């Protein structure tokens, strides 16, 4: 169990609501749907949902971004993720790491298996059906995003979204003397500053992942402000 999963979580009564996609940038078809992720097994057949309060903060972040950088947009890579899709992507990521190392399930040692699981675990929450330990994306609290500038160009952040690598850590390029890597870090700072200023927290290992109200958010909030005693919440989809 990860430390943040010990935080209490409760139903806050907020609905999961559609993200107004015209206010943001999205790529279609969705990356996980292209891979065959089983959204059809869920009552919510789209990733573009968030808890009501999270959406309000995201809209505030987009407004602030445009105030600071006219005509820039937040690109939403992923948001709501049913547990079935979480399981699919955990399996997919594991298989991709196997291929990268030239391994197959038949020639895999127990140590290699555990090493790959540990890598995946740094970036993917366990696809738990336990209501006490839900994956952040499955609560309607989390989203994976990047930025698009006024020319319609996606900013280069130095690693791809979902890339399992230390390069994906938010501050990986912080002390680099390389000019291009300094630009990566500056791009990440623009993204994180606009999101943190509107009430989100950032995943410690993922420059693209932000959330508000889930267990990871509450844990990070309590680490920064011990007197806060924040608890986590989740929303519900109602057709």
Tell me, what CATH number does 12's domain have? Answer: 3.30.1380.10
Sign of CA dihedral 163, 222, 190, 154: positive
What is the pLDDT averaged over residues 187-194?
A: 99
pLDDT at 222: 95
Calculate ∠ Cα 181-184-190, nearest 5°: 145
The sheet with strand 209-211 has its strands ordered as 73-78, 142-148, 209-211, 201-202
What is the pLDDT averaged over residues 86-91?
A: 97
Domains held by the chain: number: 1
pLDDT at 56 over 90: yes
Q: What is the pTM of this model?
A: 0.95
pLDDT at 140: 95
Residues carrying an active site annotation: 206
- pLDDT bin (cut points 50, 70, 90) of residue 154 is very high
pLDDT at 74 over 70: yes
C-alpha to C-alpha distances, 103 to 87, 124, 125, 177, nearest whole angstrom: 21, 21, 23, 36
Q: Which residues pair with 201 in a beta bridge?
A: 211
Q: Which tokens in the block code for residue 206?
A: 């993922």
- The rounded percent of the chain whose pLDDT value lies above 90 is 87
pLDDT at 239 over 60: no
pLDDT at 101: 92
pLDDT at 93 over 80: yes
pLDDT at 237 over 80: no
What's the CA gap between 212 and 40, in Å, rounded? 26
What's the CA gap between 58 and 55, in Å, rounded? 5
pLDDT at 238: 56
108 vs 192, residue with greater confidence: 192
What's the CA gap between 72 and 127, in Å, rounded? 34
Print the domain residue range for 143. 3-236
11 vs 67, residue with greater confidence: 67
pLDDT at 118: 95
pLDDT at 235 over 90: no
């Amino acid at each position: 169990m990860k430390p943040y999963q010990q935080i209490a979580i409760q139903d806050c009564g907020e609905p999961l609501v559609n993200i107004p996609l015209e206010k943001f940038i999205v790529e279609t078809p969705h990356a996980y749907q292209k891979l065959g992720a089983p959204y059809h097994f869920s009552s919510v057949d789209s990733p573009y949902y968030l808890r009501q309060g999270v959406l309000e903060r995201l809209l505030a972040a987009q407004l602030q971004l445009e105030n600071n950088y006219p005509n820039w947009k937040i690109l939403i890579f992923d948001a709501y993720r049913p547990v079935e899709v979480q399981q699919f992507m955990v399996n997919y990521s594991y298989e991709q790491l196997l291929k990268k190392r030239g391994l197959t399930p038949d020639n895999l040692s127990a140590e290699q298996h555990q090493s790959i699981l540990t890598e995946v675990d740094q970036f993917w929450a366990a696809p738990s059906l336990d209501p006490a330990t839900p994956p952040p994306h499955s609560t309607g609290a989390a989203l994976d995003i990047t930025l698009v500038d006024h020319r319609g160009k996606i900013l280069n952040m130095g690693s791809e979204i979902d890339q399992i690598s230390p390069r994906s850590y938010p501050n990986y390029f912080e002390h680099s003397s390389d000019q291009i890597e300094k630009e990566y870090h500056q791009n990440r700072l623009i993204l994180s500053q606009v999101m943190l200023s509107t009430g989100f927290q950032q995943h410690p290992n993922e420059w693209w992942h932000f959330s508000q109200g889930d267990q990871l958010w509450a844990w990070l909030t309590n680490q920064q402000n011990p007197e806060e005693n924040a608890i986590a919440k989740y929303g519900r989809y109602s057709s």
